[in-house]
Structure 1
Amino acid sequence: MKNLLTDIAGVRVGHADDAALASGVTAILFDKPAVASVDIRGGGPGTRDSSLLDPVNTVDAIHGLALSGGSAFGLEAGGGVQAWLAEQGRGFQIGAAMIPIVPGAILFDLINGGDKDWGRFPPYRDLGYAAAANATDSFALGSVGAGMGATTVNLKGGLGSASAVTPSGVRVAALAAVNAVGSITMGDSTHFWAAAFEQNNEFGGRGFPRVMMPDMHALRIKGGPAATSIENTTLAVVVTDAILTKAQAQRLAMMAQTGFAHAIYPVHAPLDGDIVFAAATGEKAIDPVVGLTELGMIAGNVIARAIARGVYEASALPFAGALPSWRDRFAK
């Protein structure tokens, strides 16, 4: 186990990003079509093909997912991932047509100091293609891919991942691109809200503070009380090797959203676009009630851990006025 999303067999992840742009794309690819659904809680989401994932709709499996910076411009990343998959002959065959199904979601990183003067067409389709081409079973965390330009209210955001195994041997893993309106740490302290779920010091081992200070529970959001623009979003993907129906995958995504509440304060705000994609590769049977409940519980835990790791592993952007990283502030 690498403590990564790719601990689920048949899943690969790739990044492509541009340091000058201060933005990027992360592609999640499935060796075989995966049953998938989605749960959206934030008040300002931006998605591609999310309606396909409703259990009442016909498409019951996907070939990949695209997570991107760039706000609405970044929705083109899914087309790049789709193009790469099509070149590999992967997708649903409909007559002579090959159609890879690649839902996706975006986060806002347009005012983080990077050069967004890209001319007529944004670069996200090409970045999506490159991210798919780069996909392997091992990948970097922090300020990479969709997490390149991500921020939180007080620290640089980034891309994190974590994995776990249920007592019955079912694997579940998560990946998160953390660009929250709120905080991942308790106030200005070194302590992560997700401390209760940390494994093996994966985000510094700082645990809980000895005393909870009043300012830790104060409202701290980007833009402060005058915040008016949608500049945020945490994007998460949870994957399991369990056998799930599309409806069960949606329930898994809903339960996994608990991890956002464990790790981000406040969460699911009007200015966030928080979303969880859930996918199942269909290798191991589970009980449809107790087994799915346990799986959803652990999925929430790994999402909380992935969110904290995304901030812990991030590096500050090299621009004047850029937010510090957690390591800049506390790992000295």
Structure 2
Amino acid sequence: MKDLLVGDIGGTNARFALWRDNQLHAVQVFATADYTSPEQAIEAYLGAQGIARGGLAAVCLAVAGPVDGDEFRFTNNHWRLSRRAFCQTLQVEHLQLINDFSAMALGMTRLRDGEFRQVCAGEADASRPALVIGPGTGLGVGSLLRLGEQRWLALPGEGGHVDLPVGNAREAAIQQQMHRQIGHVSAETVLSGGGLVRLYQAMCALDGDSPRHASPAQITDAALGGEPRALAVVEQFCRFLGRVAGNNVLTLGARGGVYIVGGVIPRFTELFLRSGFAASFADKGCMSEYFNGVPVWLVTAEFSGLLGAGVALQQTLEH
């Protein structure tokens, strides 16, 4: 019997695994810079697993960007992919491309104990959408709908590019400071790795301070070390995330819960859990009570995108 392969391809790394018995097997991570194409990287993976060309029945790859048409150009690395050429080269019968954040959303259906932390207590309503939001290189926003027993639909969108919401005079001043520098201020302008640096620079400018840090890692390290300025920036980052997540919950009716994913928040998990995120999340005036009982989780699972690709492939092959 031929194997099923799943992949989650980012700007720096490509993760591959075999999908067997509804689970990931033999996960390996490859640096995209070391290979000229996804086909070359996958052949290296198959070689390591002792699988010959032609040994795959189907492949599902999670990729950043729209997935229509035969040609796909990766937005954050040098790879390109032609569906037709891919299938011919690897002798694959079926190739499925899925938006990377759709895969991330579907991965939430396979979380295990120890792979998430509770941020806000509540009981998820399985009949309502769930929100998946993730500050990372950018800000990913998607929704997850339960269609029935073991059937799910992930709806990707561009919710990271909505206007940055403000809730008080200080936040309005931060937004205006950024607007003077770059023009339109989206949620992603702040809620991303690079956004943390922009937020730090804006807050320093407002308070007449000279910036001392130039990277997200330096800011988070300083915050973890107790530096007041860096702590204030991280706190404001968490509050902005709460406002954006809360807006999306109201728009979607996402009483199925909120999953916070991405690489930024796990850098300062304990600070996040003690932050004003929850207060800002529900700070919606006459609609604040709507958030009573909406659960929020911080996801720490390592391979959610890969798992989601597996779920997508399995659903496709079963129907």
TM-score (norm 1): 0.24
**For the pair shown, which has the larger CA radius of gyration, 1 or 2?**
2
Q: Give the TM-score of the pair, scaled to structure 2.
A: 0.25
